[in-house]
Structure 1
Amino acid sequence: MRMTAAVMYEQGLPTPFSTSQPFRIEEVELDPPGPGEVLAEVRAAGLCHSDLSVLEGLRKRPLPIVGGHEGAGIVREVGAGVTGLKPGDHVALAGVAGCGSCRACLAGRPGLCQAVSQSRAEGLLATGSRRLHLTGGGRLNHYSGISVFAQYAVVAPRSLVKIDPTVPFDVAALFGCAVVTGAGAVFNSAKVKPGATVAVIGLGGVGLTTVMAAAEAGASRIIGLDVLPGKFDLARAVGATDCFDPREPDAVQHILDLTDGGVDHAFEVSGNLAALDLAQAITARGGEVVGVGVGRTAATFTVAHLPWVAEERVLRGSFMGGGVPQQDIPRYVDLYLRGRLPVDKLRSEHIGFNRLNEGFDLLQSGAIVRQILLPHGG
């Protein structure tokens, strides 16, 4: 079929993106689903900082590529051998899909699946197939195995999670990345316990979800940090007890005083190396720094060796929530429906394809939290 999609031909173009146009909106070809694949109509897709880092060229992707890794839609067709999904099902589309049989997948960590990671790096679906093509017949790559900046997507079933149809698509899209990543970092990776103290560095969509999840986990103090104080009201509304601009000269000492020597868990969500240093500075003896945000591919950071050992500090990575989306997302949806995970507050506005590049300018400026692309209009 022919459909409208956002195609990136070049990374690292200059800002403003509304001028350099890293995404070109055009018609592309999408093959029908093959065996073990599903065709979904994309009804909503979120604009994420991970997408922004790809636009900026911080993380390389095979080009040209159709963008987008967080969405929601409706199953329209299933390929041979697909079970558990049928046409008409409402689904969240997530960028995590394991092979189901390797060591990582059998351990309940599909985000670490080497086979699928290699397919994603090559611009293929988790099945190893390519279903996207330029209209002239040229090769077109899949982003994170789903490519939801498009009207339709062919994906592997493990990229789809069936959800309650009462959840609006513009909310359901958030569960594919922002929610599964932020909430999973709290519940799966850090396993935050009631009474624990938490800091969240970076109050975008993922960071604010981390705040919500920490509140649901029963954290006694939740400290939000961001260089844009305009985000603090929303952070407090979803569970933060205190907020600081980390550029304030006494911010670290204030946090140490508030928490009797530092927090139990510091979540670094921005992917910024200076923020990782900050996270280490405000973590208590025996506490842990949880790295959630992704930055430049070759970036490195340092750890003071003696305190790491003598103070029993923990450095932990958390990729896409460190869990199994098919198990976690229904749980998070249930918390949302019961008013305990108010992820609908993350929505900033709806946009069409005509404003997609401009949307990334707004995201980069910090003026918004989560814009939702409506590929079919709205």
Structure 2
Amino acid sequence: MRALVLRAPGTRPEVEDVELDGPGPGELLVRVEAAGVCHTELHYVSGDIGCPLPIVLGHEGTGVVEEVGPGEAGGPDAVRVGQRVAFTWRPRCGQCEPCVTGRPVMCVYGRVQARSGGLMDGTSRLRRGGEQLHHFLGVSCFAERAVVSRRAVVALPDDVAPTLAAVAGCAVVTGVGAVVNVAAADGSLAGRPLLVVGAGGVGLSAVMGAALVGAGPVVVVDVSADKLALARRLGATHTVDASGLEAAEVVEAVQEVTRGGADVAVEAVGNPATLAQAFSAVRPGGTVVAVGLSSATATVAVPVNELVQQQKRLVGSLYGSANPPVDLPRLLALHRAGRLPLEDLLGATYPLEETADAYDALRAGAVGRAVVLPGPPAAVAA
């Protein structure tokens, strides 16, 4: 099958013909229909965050189950051949301490998959000849097919569009979850000012989450006028074009709109400078929710006295602090009800052979969430 392979950090990933073993116990073989292009992956491509190499990339996507490995239990939640599923790059084993205490995105097997480049047992199903290839975060969906753990998928309704399902499984869960599961976890955000820093796929999803819970005003900061225009379509009431502005000017603009600062800021860039801006832009007692990843060595400095005397909070949120088997179906139900305009989040589509071009467009500031369609070129063209 064809798959996008990264062989060394800082190099351009290329599509190669690779071999994929069949699913083992508790695993699924999935034909990939669509895969989202996530900015987080660029950190691994550049080497800012390490991963086992060579590796088949892709972690945000959806597909149709073609084969169920041995050991898959029956019952109402069983995955069947022919069913559409969304991939989740954090499995949910249901047995470790984070899973049983309600923090499934911290499942210990997420670290196993990330560090080993394998599936939940730490081994790979990917190879090229005698060379072992690795799975990216237990998924590797920039490929025609993927073998994944049953614990790393969420079954979806048959009528959900593959492109929407692909981005919902990562960007939307992360952005909406940061608002609903973290920012609004201790009370209502209705009528309270909320700031989103960064209008990429995750930041725009946070804007949709803010509109969903009735926050207001909803202020979005970015350096792209086109991204800010899309943010307004998705629910932003005010935008700040930070291109050419000093950090203090950005903070002043946000505080003016929010009459003293936002109650909550969602930082979706993963840049120490913008994270510090978000911290300055929240009012006393405010909370900054950090969702954007950076290089493995990046740090941020915050004023200690401001942290203490103004009782501000800076918290992290991985994957929207979500429970994907519960949250993802809910998000898709909200979309069907007209309350989450997911189709407006979508950007350009690319065939598998042009995935590296999609990365280039992302670096250059492309608007919306790009989606790769890994099917045969003739099928993509149709």
- Shorter-chain TM-score category? over 0.9
- What corresponds to 1:248 in structure 2? 245
- What corresponds to 1:16 in structure 2? none
Report deviation, 1:330. 0.2
Q: Deviations along 1:326-369, whole A, 9 cap, x unmatched?
A: 00000000011111111111211211122111111110010232
- What corresponds to 1:81 in structure 2? 71
The DSSP-based 3-state class of the residue aligned with 2:139 is coil
Q: How far, CA to CA, are the matches of 1:76 and 1:115 in structure 2? A: 24
Report whether the alignment pairs 1:233 with 2:229.
Answer: yes
Report whether the alignment pairs 1:108 with 2:102.
Answer: yes
Report deviation, 1:153. 0.6
- What corresponds to 1:208 in structure 2? 204
Counterparts of residues 258-273 of structure 1 (less than 5 Å): 258-273=257-272
Q: Deviations along 1:227-271, whole A, 9 cap, x unmatched?
A: 112211110000000000234243321211221210011111011
- What corresponds to 1:155 in structure 2? 148
Q: How far, CA to CA, are the matches of 1:116 and 1:209 in structure 2? A: 23
- What corresponds to 2:174 in structure 1? 181
Report deviation, 1:25. 0.7
Report deviation, 1:110. 1.9
The DSSP-based 3-state class of the residue aligned with 2:131 is coil
Q: 1:115 to 1:158 in 2, by over 3 A?
A: closer
The DSSP-based 3-state class of the residue aligned with 1:368 is coil
Report deviation, 1:115. 3.5
Report deviation, 1:208. 0.3
Q: How far, CA to CA, are the matches of 1:165 and 1:38 in structure 2? A: 18
Q: How far, CA to CA, are the matches of 1:116 and 1:256 in structure 2? A: 38
Report deviation, 1:99. 2.5
Report whether the alignment pairs 1:71 with 2:61.
Answer: yes
Q: Which amino acid aligns with 1:8?
A: L
Q: Which amino acid aligns with 1:261?
A: G
- What corresponds to 1:6 in structure 2? 4
Contact 2:117 2:123 in 1 (8 A): no
Counterparts of residues 349-368 of structure 1 (less than 5 Å): 349-368=348-367
**Counterpart pick for 1:120 among 114, 124, 141:** 114
The DSSP-based 3-state class of the residue aligned with 2:349 is strand
| Runs (4+) off by over 3 Å | none
The DSSP-based 3-state class of the residue aligned with 2:160 is coil
Q: Which amino acid aligns with 1:234?
A: L
Counterparts of residues 332-343 of structure 1 (less than 5 Å): 332-343=331-342
Q: How far, CA to CA, are the matches of 1:52 and 1:199 in structure 2? A: 25
Contact 2:9 2:44 in 1 (8 A): yes
Q: Deviations along 1:19-54, whole A, 9 cap, x unmatched?
A: xxx211111111110001111110000111011221
Report whether the alignment pairs 1:97 with 2:97.
Answer: no
Identity in percent: 41
Deviates more, 1:32-41 or 1:80-89: 80-89
Q: Which amino acid aligns with 1:276?
A: L
Q: Which runs of 5+ in 1 are unaligned?
A: 14-21
Contact 1:68 1:149 in 2 (8 A): yes
Q: How far, CA to CA, are the matches of 2:142 and 2:45 in structure 1? A: 14
Q: Deviations along 1:271-307, whole A, 9 cap, x unmatched?
A: 1111011101101100101000000011111121112
Report deviation, 1:86. 0.6
The DSSP-based 3-state class of the residue aligned with 2:283 is strand
Q: Which amino acid aligns with 2:245?
A: E
The DSSP-based 3-state class of the residue aligned with 1:55 is helix
Q: Deviations along 1:139-185, whole A, 9 cap, x unmatched?
A: 10000101000011111112111111111101110112111111111
Q: How far, CA to CA, are the matches of 2:88 and 2:343 in structure 1? A: 18
Q: How far, CA to CA, are the matches of 1:4 and 1:291 in structure 2? A: 35
Contact 1:45 1:70 in 2 (8 A): yes
Q: Which amino acid aligns with 2:282?
A: T
Q: How far, CA to CA, are the matches of 1:94 and 1:122 in structure 2? A: 17
Q: How far, CA to CA, are the matches of 1:215 and 1:107 in structure 2? A: 29
Report deviation, 1:128. 2.7
Q: How far, CA to CA, are the matches of 2:152 and 2:109 in structure 1? A: 14
TM-score, normalization: structure 2?
Answer: 0.93
